[in-house]
Structure 1
């Protein structure tokens, strides 16, 4: 429509009369609120009507409040596409929910409320939990469900939706003579038996990308239950000590080491060997498939949860790969050991590293072991690194 035609049509607004009072408390038997929403590529909006049933049996409905907004435009700089029609319809439903909250707060009365939309997708969204949908839809569905709790969302044919005036637009001449806009659909002033039937929800044939449903992904993690040895002691140093004694007993019990049996106090090498033995045992329980892949192919699969660490295997232990191969630092610094945060061994590691500076140590050998152990770097999934410098 040209600007001159629009300007000329404004003259008809001189005869427009809007009633300031839409309800009569003395002869009003019951009241209801009916909200409608609609959207198009140009705009979206919502309107609310007050339906009164009088003592003489007559029913009246009047426009109470309305609001519209311009539909989002293309953002060429950010390369954002124009908002889809289902999203605009959902935005109009959110606008209706906000209007409804303001009306209920202003009227300070409790009335039955009904909400109408001609979008089957919006009704489908609102009939499910917000967690089922992607973020844009989920946030708005959650807010709409909370704001309109206690109300009923139903389907209305597009030709009987008064909010269509807001989304499509009308001239001033048409607005002045449009009973659908000022008083709502004709069935609103009839018995409830004459209201639109609640159409069965169906989205058959709708593009799944339009529904924006979260895809369910099932991940099977082969993680064996923790070995009982990790529950023998609540302190890592004590667990390492008892593991070292067990490994010494295993060494001395073998026939081929009959002439090379170990005795005396535990050496530093035995403690270190016991610690690495516990690391291998914990990794075998958490990264069983990754260990097999590293042994066979030298790398893990792209779907592995530790793939981002570019893991390598050194002496049977999974460590972080990377570009520090030629760095003048220790192997532990260049290639930290990978641990799973849910394994009990990891809890012992994190505890001793965070408390190593305050731990009272009685003998020199244990102090040297703990100090050197604290300088080793460990990467704990999902990516937090614990180390003591």
Structure 2
């Protein structure tokens, strides 16, 4: 290493094969007249006896590289102008660009650790021929070949080029369609549930409301799915036992939001983007707004009264949606088969169903117990 270099860089390469996987670290120093690249250290591991896919082994190699970087950084106690990680696996690069929650457990756990160790440092693609970690992944290398290998001792040729600039290395981008073709991605239903909320009607297809005939079963099924997702992300703080009130409330919020996105996609998107509904719109008089749980609520009603928040600003529902039908059936039974007017009066303590009067009549009319009684 030069005494007074213009810049000092660290480059970590990783690779894997069915035999072994590992990583190697190079220090690149740029001075006024020369560029020096030297091997600092390397680490290799024998591949498991149990058959593991090459992409998984490549990810394990990347994890070795991240851990090796962490040890070198803590040992050297010096600042590097640039640190870059290199791999020839496009699948690993695709995984590292995705939210870990969308990946299956094995890949998810290791990508999370890699992100924790490397923070915002860049990962870049290198061709297999220029990857010195290929020599680590072979497991066995002839000593004569190793002693005369410029690739091993001095890194790839592009690093030794004085024209090479860390800031101009193009990132490797995975096209959105290609991301869906990556292995180890969770099933589409779970992926859709945990994906960030989008203000479009497409979100309505996540849960098939028509499959359920009881509100309590729909609510509990959703709560258990959300618990499963929570437990996959929080290994040290898992939920178990009987469903809690908070878990059921979380399920309710998700179900209401999805029903609103199916029933009022255009209105939801407009209000989410702070655009008021046109005066001629049949919902414009309700002064709708979106609350902290991303639910559409009625605004400007009893605003300065002493009623609780849910009564002041009831949640908007469509009387034509299956969720609203299941909710009214559930409340009708809870109220010991109340008449339509009593059912609607009770419901409006927290909800604002559009065309709710007709739906309340239908629920009571179709109730087998009420017909017999």
Number of the residue aligned with 2:164 = 192
User: Displacement of 1:286 after TM fit?
Assistant: 2.5
Alignment of 1:92 with 2:65, yes or no, is no
Q: Deviations over 1:18-72 (max 9, x none)?
A: xxxxx13x23221000000000010001000000011x23110100110000001
| Number of equivalenced pairs | 211
Native 8 Å contact 2:87 2:126 kept in 1: yes
Number of the residue aligned with 1:170 = 141
Q: State the distance in 1 between where 2:184 and 2:156 align.
A: 29
Alignment of 1:286 with 2:216, yes or no, is yes
Q: State the distance in 2 between where 1:339 and 1:27 align.
A: 63
- Residue 48 of structure 2 aligns to a residue whose secondary structure is coil
State the Cα RMSD in Å. Answer: 3.6
Alignment of 1:156 with 2:126, yes or no, is yes
Native 8 Å contact 2:19 2:137 kept in 1: yes
Q: Runs of 4 or more off by more than 6 Å in structure 1?
A: 203-207, 303-306
Native 8 Å contact 2:16 2:54 kept in 1: yes
TM-score w.r.t. structure 2 length?
Answer: 0.50
User: Displacement of 1:150 after TM fit?
Assistant: 3.2
User: Displacement of 1:199 after TM fit?
Assistant: 4.2
User: Which consecutive residues of structure 1, in runs of 5 or more, have no partner in the other structure?
Assistant: 1-22, 75-81, 225-282, 291-302, 307-337, 344-389
Pick aligned residue for 1:101 from 66, 70, 85: 70
Residue 202 to residue 182, structure 1, CA distance change in 2 (3 Å): farther
Q: Highest CA radius of gyration, 1 or 2?
A: 1
TM-score w.r.t. structure 1 length?
Answer: 0.48
Q: State the distance in 2 between where 1:181 and 1:219 align.
A: 54
Number of the residue aligned with 1:113 = 83
User: Which consecutive residues of structure 2, in runs of 5 or more, have no partner in the other structure?
Assistant: 191-205, 225-241, 250-373
Pick aligned residue for 1:180 from 151, 159, 168: 151
Structure with bigger helix share is: 2
Q: State the distance in 2 between where 1:193 and 1:175 align.
A: 28
Number of the residue aligned with 2:310 = none
User: Displacement of 1:102 after TM fit?
Assistant: 0.3
Pick aligned residue for 1:212 from 174, 181, 185: 185
Number of the residue aligned with 1:30 = 7
Residue 106 to residue 305, structure 1, CA distance change in 2 (3 Å): closer
Number of the residue aligned with 1:47 = 24
- Residue 165 of structure 1 aligns to a residue whose secondary structure is helix
Residue 143 to residue 175, structure 1, CA distance change in 2 (3 Å): same
User: Displacement of 1:189 after TM fit?
Assistant: 1.5
Number of the residue aligned with 1:248 = none
Number of the residue aligned with 2:174 = 201
